[in-house]
Structure 1
Amino acid sequence: MPGGGGNLEMAEADTVPIEEMMERVTTWLKKVFGNKPIPQYQMNEQAVNILFELAEYNEARVRDLSLVIEGLKELSKEYEAEAKHLKRILSEVLDLPSQKLSGKGTMYLDVVVNSAMTLETKDTSLASFICAINEKMSELYTLESENKGMELELKNLMEKLTTALNLETQLEKDLKRTQELIKVKNNRASNRPRDLEFVNAKCQELRSRIEAAETELAATGFDASLSHRSLVSLAEKLNRLQKEIVPLKKKVDKYHDLPANIPLAKVKLEAVRHELNCLDEKFSKALEELTYDI
């Protein structure tokens, strides 16, 4: 079929160098738009591939149409010869020159000739017309199928192109955002040495001031044990001792109920014994009463 060559060329688009593809696309666009300016488009590999395929398809269709036109010209010559032959038959065999035909006869004859030229028949017989009509119907069905396939392919290409353009736009936004972040980080990185230098200078200044203050205090007879560092150390030691005292206090608390000396201890012991004897007597009486009741 005529469109087969275009499909083959589009299938081979991947083997063409990108520079040659761009050159052919530019030439094709100039040919299509003529004196009009070419619309702006993103010059990337995917867009060039799609435009290259469209250019290849368009050029293939143009070549096919050129071949069809040449064929029609040849058929036109053949039909002219056929018309002359029919005129000769009408005038010589039937003794009926075309000038003597009625208006309807001339019209019918023109219709037959034009139909034969349109259907590309070899003659004007009924069998040739039927075969030509069937062939044209078959070609029409094939062309409609190819046209649907081409439309679907073109639709897919346009969708791919739209997707590619959207992706490119998004990538440009991401690239711009990334560049801005890099710029901010670079600014921070460039400021960091300066900040570090300032901090170091400030630390050195504070060390010098501390040393000067310590020297001045030492000159005035300041007791080093009252310095902040010494007080902090003493506070830490105090906290540690307080924690160590806690278990000792718990042990001492157990002995708080004991008498302070031995005589008091003896008195308390006698009181406990007396209380124990009283309890023993009460228990004995209770036991006797229980036995009596039984």
Structure 2
Amino acid sequence: MCEKITKVNSWLSAVFGDQPVPHFEVNTRTVDILYQLAQASEARCSDTALHVEDLKQKASEYQAEGAHLQDVLLQGVGLSCASLSKPASDYLSALVDTAMVLGVRDTSLGSFMPAVNNLTNQLLEAEKSNRRIERELRAVRKRLGSTLVLRSNLQEDINKAVKSQGVESAKAEERLLNMDFVTAKAKELDNRRQRAEAQLESRNMDKSITHQAIMQLSEEVTTLKQETIPLKKKLEPYMDLSPSPSLAQVKIEEAKRELAALDSQLEINMEFK
């Protein structure tokens, strides 16, 4: 634990430099976290230092190779940077810039061609990706258009449904009002009927002269009249016969007796009612 605290303090002092180290609660958890951070920071700093040393070594190699090439040009060909014309210097600068952009080690054709081929492949892949994205974009636009049309149709249907619902609600409300009116009217008529019945009952009205009794009596009279029709039809053949005093008198008497019996029965029914 003490070793971890010592390393953490040393690392914090190195990180903050001249600034004071912020106060923190010293416990097992915070010390472990800061110790892990210190180890990770040291590992990263070590990697960075190695990378810097590698870059320095490559830079020194490039400088040595550049100096060697300058000596070769100066001693073998008699050329130097100062002796180059401006177009040649511009071309050389463009060549160096191109090599730096491509990330090649030197400006030889063997280094440029793979780099250019790599960039060409990347360009082809990017164009292929762009064409695929354009196809997907067209498909999305098509689906978007269909979705917008469907949304418009759905909105129109919703508006129609809302309008129809409003009309139906108005009709339902009107029917409810009519129902309330009819119910109130029926209740009023029922009360009037009850009052009329009570009034008639208080006056000791004969029930035989009520509408219902009269209708029933009318039905019975109609029935009796229907019963007399066959008897009258029996008499019709005898109406055209030549008079036979004895036989006609018998038939007439029989018919009279039947008619008298029916009339008596009718009168009895009328008196009974």
TM-score (ref. length: structure 2): 0.44
TM-score (norm 1): 0.42
Bigger radius of gyration among the two? 2
